[in-house]
Amino acid sequence: MSASQTKLSLMATFLLLIFLTSSAWSEDISALVAKRVSQDGKTLDLSGLNIGTSGAKQLAKMELLAGITTLHLQGNNIRARGMKALAKSPHIAGLKHIDLWGNLLGDLGLKAISESLYLNQLESLKLWKNEISDDSIELIVVSGNFSHLKTLMLNDNLITPVGGAMLASASVFPQLLTLNLFRNDIGDGGALAFAGSEKFPHLELLSLGENKITDQGAVALIESQNFPRLKVLDLAMNLLGDPSMMAAFKVNRKGKVQIIYR
């Protein structure tokens, strides 16, 4: 087979895979869902199946969801329309944990979560890599759905200093233990807002790695007295120099809080 024929063959295979992936869940997914429920009927794991918007809409109609407390939907490409369908389903009222990593939800998807009548018992919400911007954060901080939330994962999104400051001043997370904002763009503006915030009295882990934070924001965070239960402050992969390292060394030496700065 010539080089050109090999390239054509690979291209044809690639296009076929795209077609199969995009159309795989145009049929009924109820049998698949039934196989993915845990023995106790409380966990449904559909990770990496790429059920798409169509699959999410089917899922939203299934009464089986009524007993589910933990839903894994990472890597399913459900997008905003799929999330909107799920958020309107009365069957999800018992959900406490939902993982939506890599679903391209965007701001409209998070709007659906924030405004849902049925997602008000969540204890963990994982939204890695969903193209979430400051517009989404504005919706989160006025929502009444997150008063039970203990874990919020917003890493690998599009949050700027404006969004960071909005999160820092939000009063909607009274029970939050873990906040992950790794690899966003909150900068010193967001870092300083968190350093001065008194809204997170129970926070144990704050991850702000790779956010373009400099010594100004980092030292303020390290020296902040506003996180009485903090155990880990992750500032790795930022723009830190000697002032941050010295401040972190002093805190780490006391052993009450671990500062990660490299």
What is the spatial distance between Cα 100 and Cα 133, in angstroms, rounded to a whole number? 16
Instruction: Give the pLDDT confidence score for residue 9 in this predicted structure.
Output: 52
pLDDT digits (tens, 9 = 90+) for 203-232: 999 999 999 999 999 999 999 999 999 999
Q: Which pLDDT score is estimated for 15?
A: 38
Q: Residue length, the chain?
A: 262
- Rounded to two decimals, what is the model's pTM? 0.89
For residue 221, the SS3 value is helix
Q: Is the CB of residue 191 less than 8 Å from the CB of residue 220?
A: yes
**3-state DSSP percent of the chain in helix, strand and coil, to 5:** 40, 10, 45
What is the model's pLDDT at position 6? 47
**Cβ(65)–Cβ(59) under 8 Å?**
yes
Nearest residue to 103 via CA among 93, 94, 113, 95: 113
Residues 6 or more apart whose Cβ sits within 8 Å of residue 215 = 239, 240, 241, 242, 243, 244
Instruction: Indicate if 159-262 has the same CATH topology as 32-151.
Output: yes
Q: For residue 124, give the DSSP letter.
A: E
Closest CA to 125 of 162, 178, 161, 200: 178
The pLDDT of residue 145: 97
Q: Hunting for tokens 């919020």 — which residue is that?
A: 152
pLDDT at 26 over 60: no
Q: Where are the domains of the chain?
A: 32-151, 159-262
Q: Are 109 and 133 in contact (CB under 8 A)?
A: no
- pLDDT surpasses 50 at 17: no
12 pLDDT above the threshold of 80: no
Per residue in 239-260, pLDDT (tens digit) is 999 999 999 999 999 999 999 9
**Where is 110: in which H helix or E strand?**
helix 106-115
Fold of 32-151: 3.80.10
The rounded mean pLDDT for the chain is 92
Q: In the predicted model, is pLDDT for residue 10 greater than 90?
A: no
Sheet holding 70-72, edge to edge: 43-45, 70-72, 97-99, 124-126, 151-153, 178-180, 205-207, 232-234, 258-260
- The one-letter code for the residue type at 85 is A
pLDDT at 196 over 90: yes
Classify residue 35 as exposed, middle or buried by CB count within 10 Å of its CB (0-12, 13-18, 19+). Answer: exposed
The CATH number that domain 159-262 falls under is 3.80.10.10
**Beta bridge mates, 70:** 43, 97
